[in-house]
Structure 1
Amino acid sequence: MKRLVTLIGIFALLFCLQLVGGGFEALASGTEGGFAEQAIGGLEKLWSFTGFANVHYTNIIMIAVGLFFIFLAIKFDYEPLLLVPIGTGVIIGNIPFLAGNNIGLYESGSVLNYLYFGVEKGVYPPLIFLGIGAMTDFSSLISNPKLMILGAAAQIGIFATFLGASALGFGPEEAGAIGIIGGADGPTAIFLSSKLAPHLMGAIAIAAYSYMALVPVIQPPIMRLIVPKHERLIKMKPPRAVSKTEKVLFPIIGLLLTTFISPSALPLLGMLFFGNLLKESGVTERLADTARNALINIITILLGVTVGASTQADYFLTTDSLKIFGLGAISFMVATAGGLLFARIMNLFLKGDKKINPLIGAAGVSAVPDSARVAQMEGLKNDPTNHLLMHAMAPNVSGVIGSAVAAGILLAFLS
């Protein structure tokens, strides 16, 4: 340690001697202004390039938001794989700089601008879906297909938000892009906003990912409010065993059926089912492993950092952004309530051990697998022997499919 301090001191001394020597040379050669004015001019130019000279209070606000995201991820383990990259990106995007030097994300030719291309053109979301497909087990959905209805019911949040955004003065394309927040699916929100409302993408993406991270905070009070105690205690029979043939056929049939219904969602649904086929076929394990590990990790880093950096204060802190955040919160609650209420309605037509625990209806939102885990935790709080995770995964994964189909329908109607 002492040697390091000594070495730093020697370099500092040499730098000072060189600076003073340069000043004497300037004086000796009669350079206009002399050493003092040159030094002051150089320092002033250096100052003009620093963040301290270009800072605005909005930059400080956004940097605080980024730090808050990182705090939530580390302290409470709220979606750390998303919030740490996004929070860091928010900080990166709001470091003050002198415009015109190809630094900012919105400056053509900058490194961040090139990385943002994958978000702007909707390249990253399908690759995320490929990884999700390669890591998802659809067995619970295959064994109990009626639970797919709960995933569809939760998409009411998308269309409720669309109507709310229209009422607040957003145009049809903007309202459609904002509405997808109700599906609690970040990649789908980015994909749709890149097509319909690129200028709102930062606010939409941050809102979608923020509410996905806050699933453990937002959903439990709604679940307790809507589902009475005696229904929270319902035990569901274990899902039946699913054969390999069924697992292989599911992504093929799912791909054909969903994309024929909503061709506009082909980039998302095609990659989702392709990833699942890689996993279930049993002959492409190496490709499946790459998709669910290395590839999705790389894309998550790039997506998170660039989406965070897109929240540059002068582009992000607007009245529209505040409206989007408010609508996002309402849509998420509506989606959760829709899944819960529909589960209770389904029970009116089911008898005996075929009844479902309405708590799994909250998993119909697309936050995989967090909303399914919340259903599991709430079930255990009411009965420590009542395990709902496998059942909750069925509406959870169907919610992913449902939100992608809804995005395709909105894109077809509004583009």
Structure 2
Amino acid sequence: MEDIVERLYEMTAFSNIVADPRFLIMYAIAFILLYLGIKKQYEPLLLVPIAFGVLLANFPGGDMGVIQADENGMVMVKGVMKNIWEMPLHEIAHELGLMNFIYYMLIKTGFLPPIIFMGVGALTDFGPMLRNLRLSIFGAAAQLGIFAVLLVAILMGFTPKEAASLGIIGGADGPTAIFTTIKLAPHLLGPIAIAAYSYMALVPVIIPLVVRIWCTKKELSINMKEQEKKYPSTTEIKNLRVLKILFPIAVTTIVALFVPSAVPLIGMLMFGNLVKEIGSNTSRLFDAASNSIMNAATIFLGISVGATMTTDAFLNWTTIGIVIGGFLAFALSISGGILFVKVVNLFTKKKINPLIGATGLSAVPMASRVANEIALKYDPKNHVLQYCMASNISGVIGSAVAAGVLISFLG
């Protein structure tokens, strides 16, 4: 009888959890992320799949955790070291399980990030940026965190490729972070993807925190519409629809000529936007890119990225360094945009609300919504959403170009 009870106990996950209490930490992380996604509604479309992936990966015996290959692509399979890139997909599915099959087929190959960028492009309206082109420069200034943390990470002992993958978290764009890390430091993909998506989801917490540090009440009360009335723009767009169709074609061509390595992201982003702007003739393509394809890609990416957060992969000093460095990159990017607005305001009569600089991230449109809510607290009539979107949308392009530059120099 005792033997039967002992076997039943060993059959459950409890024996493994008792032997390795670190599983309890991972469950706590998963539940916190689920709470933030469901109750607080912090990017639930991303955070809920990621959190559930974390949960699935840490049930002992479930074989749902992603096994990370090392720098040389080697992975342990039933006691034997194998090169993951020499294993056919059916063998990965059979030997390593369903989640590894999804991960190595869709994520590690770099397939899903450009697909998601296509969906983002289809959901993006470049109109606010085109109407306020002078504000788009703050999308470039907000990339400060990427390069600042890159230098700090190298000084801390990370290799240049690892440091670049860590720094790209400052772009606040999950697909860009994944794409860059796949190219430069694939062995760090799990913790970097988790950090990038977690901080994207925490935009409603991080932006107000950084804004409180740098901005005064007077600056946050700058009313952009009043500034427009005092100092009206001298440029007028006569045919916005034609411009919105030409814009993605022009941007793709220019980026392809100067930063070819950014084409997979920028090209797909602009293609998605182009089929949206053409109208009824490509409406079916737009509908697929923005709905079914985008939704399926988000599910697979979120749940498989979450499954990389196993106890061995996450609970170590390297991952802790990535989480801390990622937060620093994120905060510095927001600070860079704010400080650049302050510098510009010193030399111009037409003042700009620093919140526009704070939204130079790629986290669109959440960053703009958060900034608008902050502005309304200081002045209920001060709607800055459309101005923030100009900076926010340019941040999407800026982070992708920054990723292309890093891949070109270090890849």
Q: Which range, TM-score by smaller chain?
A: 0.7 to 0.9
1:33 paired residue number? none
Is 1:252 the counterpart of 2:249? The answer is yes
Is 1:96 the counterpart of 2:60? The answer is yes
Return the letter of the residue paired with 2:66: L
1:379 paired residue number? 375
2:162 touches 2:184 (CA, 8 Å); kept in 1?
yes
1:76 paired residue number? 40
Map residues 8-407 of structure 1 onto 2, 5 A cutoff. 40=3, 47-55=9-17, 56-97=20-61, 104-106=65-67, 108-109=92-93, 110-117=97-104, 118-237=106-225, 243-282=240-279, 283-351=281-349, 354-407=350-403
Counterpart secondary structure, 2:356:
helix
Q: 1:309 & 1:336 partners in 2: Cα distance?
A: 29
Counterpart secondary structure, 1:348:
helix
User: How many aligned positions are there?
Assistant: 372
1:153 touches 1:342 (CA, 8 Å); kept in 2?
yes
Post-superposition shift, 1:47? 4.2
Q: 1:87 & 1:183 partners in 2: Cα distance?
A: 22
Return the letter of the residue paired with 1:105: V
Counterpart secondary structure, 1:78:
coil
1:234-255 C-alpha deviation (Å, 9 max, x unpaired): 2224797661100100100111
Q: 1:77 & 1:321 partners in 2: Cα distance?
A: 26
2:64 touches 2:307 (CA, 8 Å); kept in 1?
no
1:141 touches 1:398 (CA, 8 Å); kept in 2?
yes
Post-superposition shift, 1:159? 0.4
Q: 1:228 & 1:64 partners in 2: Cα distance?
A: 37
Percent of counterpart pairs with the same letter? 51
Which segment is superposed worse, 339-348 or 80-89? 339-348
Post-superposition shift, 1:57? 1.2
1:73-132 C-alpha deviation (Å, 9 max, x unpaired): 11211111111100000000111128xxx6543263311111102111111111110000
Return the letter of the residue paired with 2:310: Q
2:245 touches 2:274 (CA, 8 Å); kept in 1?
yes
CA gap 1:103/1:330 in 2 versus in 1, 3 angstroms: closer
Post-superposition shift, 1:328? 1.1
Alpha-carbon RMSD: 1.8
Post-superposition shift, 1:50? 2.7
Pick the structure with greater CA Rg.
1
Counterpart secondary structure, 2:30:
helix
Q: 1:116 & 1:44 partners in 2: Cα distance?
A: 35
Return the letter of the residue paired with 2:358: A
CA gap 1:103/1:243 in 2 versus in 1, 3 angstroms: closer
Post-superposition shift, 1:48? 3.7
Post-superposition shift, 1:335? 0.6
Q: 2:216 & 2:258 partners in 1: Cα distance?
A: 36
Q: 1:129 & 1:227 partners in 2: Cα distance?
A: 32
1:388-408 C-alpha deviation (Å, 9 max, x unpaired): 101101111111111111111
Q: 1:368 & 1:355 partners in 2: Cα distance?
A: 24
Post-superposition shift, 1:45? 5.1
CA gap 1:294/1:350 in 2 versus in 1, 3 angstroms: same
Q: 1:176 & 1:167 partners in 2: Cα distance?
A: 12
Return the letter of the residue paired with 2:137: I
Post-superposition shift, 1:64? 1.1
Counterpart secondary structure, 2:276:
helix
Counterpart secondary structure, 1:170:
coil
Return the letter of the residue paired with 1:363: T
1:105 touches 1:111 (CA, 8 Å); kept in 2?
no
For structure 1, list consecutive stretches of 5 or more residues without a partner in the other structure: 1-35
Is 1:408 the counterpart of 2:369? The answer is no
Return the letter of the residue paired with 1:60: L
Counterpart secondary structure, 2:60:
coil
Post-superposition shift, 1:372? 0.7
2:57 touches 2:64 (CA, 8 Å); kept in 1?
no
Q: 2:34 & 2:140 partners in 1: Cα distance?
A: 32
Post-superposition shift, 1:210? 1.1
CA gap 1:46/1:105 in 2 versus in 1, 3 angstroms: farther
Post-superposition shift, 1:261? 2.1
Counterpart secondary structure, 1:73:
helix
Counterpart secondary structure, 2:359:
helix
Which segment is superposed worse, 383-392 or 218-227? 218-227
2:313 touches 2:319 (CA, 8 Å); kept in 1?
no
1:132-179 C-alpha deviation (Å, 9 max, x unpaired): 000000011111212121000000000011012111111111111111
Q: 1:266 & 1:347 partners in 2: Cα distance?
A: 34
Which segment is superposed worse, 159-168 or 233-242? 233-242
